[in-house]
Structure 1
């Protein structure tokens, strides 16, 4: 009897070739898997239910899983596997209430995201967007006038909101620049942060003393919108806000106000709440003091290979009643 696994809601990430690799990888690891790709775009509940009926595992990035969907697909549905690090679309509390595992793939792109963060910060440090525009406008001499004032980078403070795997990579990469590196994490002990050569601080100190503040936490009820009007008011007017994590970690209206009024100097953003950005987030993207990239921090060919392979490992472990190792609602394990 075949074991049905479906993938859906990936918004352009999967190509025909990558889907073939996913299917081949799953079948190599577990020959009786039946793999099917459903929809690239997120669907309404009824459409998803009809297409996914009988699936034991759903792999998705952006398909939001409602209580109606879970109730219609259980007890056959065993797990929703986030195709990547973020798992907020799995709707963790509702999945748990329906006895469905939520897993993610947290280890496939740590280096890539860290390099992207460093690249964004360095581009902002040297004011690259302004220098590029200076040349595009037909100018050359006196280019420093487009970027002044700029402080020596070794005199800057890098602030890390969250100190997980990616943040540790960022800290290691910046350690050679001579910058002060500080971090706040609500869970990671101060001793662990110190052991990595980083200065632990409280949240208010992180806000007040960071020249570059970069976000490295998952989107949870406790972190959603935590960068709001009050937070931005506590930051330096020369500060750069860097978000390669999740757009909803900040209040978009408050970020737009902080950027457009000069409350903070600028932002470098790879992740928006709505993608492609619309409404107020579209206005943020168009501000002259914002450097945006289209949510590509995770990408390299090697990272894609790892993502497919590690996703397949999680799926197969779930189907074989083995600990997938990345179970978010661990309280359900062997319940």
Structure 2
């Protein structure tokens, strides 16, 4: 029976309740507590604040400074359903009060990994470019259309970052028999080796691999850390997939290097989104462009709702959540991702 004494505040923009909750997960959520959702895109702030005294959970990316947390004595958990830990929450106060802050980012890892693999094969075999030539009546047959073609099978692969994305991509590379080097200064070498990868320096990953996947998240310390010095190390005709956040590269330099023909590239992310209609990356050859769509597929959105309800049911039973990613005191305030519009 629905607990009418407690409230779940749902303000999930840019998500919608219909996108993330199936009929089944909505019914499960509604059995836990009364769900209060916005009448338009965002919940009215005054209404939000008025509901806080009864709230046991908040769904969404609404600001939660201490003054709001102080109004919510029964609050147990805040669910981020966009995919990043933003700096609009008083995390220290949440940790002090044992309010869980959970993130749905894990749902995007496998879709992004599959997209990254597809982009790598596309770049190596020129699938998109030769398709476009065919549509224009300029197709090239057999070797003529394959002079720069490469096999992923047996190739050398480098991963920059080995969090959720890297660990989802690694099993997809197994059938190709690639040697995989990993640079991730936040992990001990033993973790990298457990995934049948070779721990390596950043310079080694950049200079020795035919396929490079940029998968690192954005922090206060690594914005723009891949610039001219780093891109100059990349092998000619290498394939570079930028899949995490554009802020970790010098995007102008990235564009320049691809324009000069230094390496081929694919990117799902851009410094400003939507990408400026006049941005030079739109006119550069040897780059595949994707409008930040690698992770946002219907299966991933439905999984958000399932994971959220699973964890909320556990929390309301005084058990630890197990499905969503929990904010960690040592890490969360170093993160610097910006919302996708």
- Aligned partner of 1:303 in structure 2 is 300
How far does the alpha carbon of each residue in 1:256-308 deviate from its partner, in whole angstroms, 9 at most, with x for none?
Answer: 2222233x32221223343222277x432443322122323224544333211
CA drift at 1:97: 4.3
* Aligned-residue RMSD, C-alpha: 3.1
How far does the alpha carbon of each residue in 1:172-204 deviate from its partner, in whole angstroms, 9 at most, with x for none?
Answer: 221221322111111222222223221211111
Does structure 1 residue 9 correspond to structure 2 residue 9? no
Instruction: Find the aligned partners of 1:248 and 1:82 in 2 and give their Cα distance.
Output: 21
Report the secondary structure of 1:153's partner residue.
coil
Instruction: Find the aligned partners of 1:271 and 1:172 in 2 and give their Cα distance.
Output: 23
CA drift at 1:320: 6.3
Instruction: Find the aligned partners of 2:168 and 2:148 in 1 and give their Cα distance.
Output: 29
How far does the alpha carbon of each residue in 1:191-239 deviate from its partner, in whole angstroms, 9 at most, with x for none?
Answer: 2222322121111111112222112332222333222233222222322
CA drift at 1:124: 0.9
Instruction: Find the aligned partners of 1:20 and 1:304 in 2 and give their Cα distance.
Output: 10
- Aligned partner of 1:237 in structure 2 is 236
Report the secondary structure of 1:148's partner residue.
coil
- Aligned partner of 1:27 in structure 2 is 30
CA drift at 1:250: 1.9
Instruction: Find the aligned partners of 1:144 and 1:76 in 2 and give their Cα distance.
Output: 69
Asked if the contact 1:113–1:166 (Cα under 8 Å) also holds between the matched residues in 2, the reply is yes
Q: TM-score, normalised by structure 2?
A: 0.78
Point out 4+ residue stretches in structure 1 off by more than 6 angstroms. Answer: none
How far does the alpha carbon of each residue in 1:294-332 deviate from its partner, in whole angstroms, 9 at most, with x for none?
Answer: 32322454433321111233455566665335321458x
Report the secondary structure of 1:130's partner residue.
helix
Asked if the contact 2:113–2:169 (Cα under 8 Å) also holds between the matched residues in 1, the reply is yes
CA drift at 1:48: 6.1
How far does the alpha carbon of each residue in 1:137-183 deviate from its partner, in whole angstroms, 9 at most, with x for none?
Answer: 11334464355222343353211112234323322221221322111
- Aligned partner of 2:254 in structure 1 is 255
- Superposed, 1:143-222 pairs within 5 Å as 144-222=143-221
* Change over 3 Å in CA distance of 1:2–1:238 after alignment to 2: same
Structure 1 stretches lacking a partner, 5+ long: none
Report the secondary structure of 2:10's partner residue.
strand
Report the secondary structure of 1:108's partner residue.
helix
Q: How many pairs align?
A: 312
Asked if the contact 1:214–1:242 (Cα under 8 Å) also holds between the matched residues in 2, the reply is yes
Structure 2 stretches lacking a partner, 5+ long: 331-341
Does structure 1 residue 86 correspond to structure 2 residue 81? no
Does structure 1 residue 52 correspond to structure 2 residue 48? yes
* Change over 3 Å in CA distance of 1:256–1:112 after alignment to 2: same
Instruction: Find the aligned partners of 1:58 and 1:148 in 2 and give their Cα distance.
Output: 55
Asked if the contact 2:20–2:303 (Cα under 8 Å) also holds between the matched residues in 1, the reply is no
How far does the alpha carbon of each residue in 1:26-45 deviate from its partner, in whole angstroms, 9 at most, with x for none?
Answer: 213x1x232314654xx7xx
Asked if the contact 1:86–1:218 (Cα under 8 Å) also holds between the matched residues in 2, the reply is no
Bigger Cα displacement from structure 2, 268-277 vs 176-185 = 268-277
Report the secondary structure of 1:154's partner residue.
coil
CA drift at 1:8: 3.1
Instruction: Find the aligned partners of 1:288 and 1:38 in 2 and give their Cα distance.
Output: 45
Bigger Cα displacement from structure 2, 142-151 vs 131-140 = 142-151
Report the secondary structure of 2:106's partner residue.
coil
CA drift at 1:4: 3.4
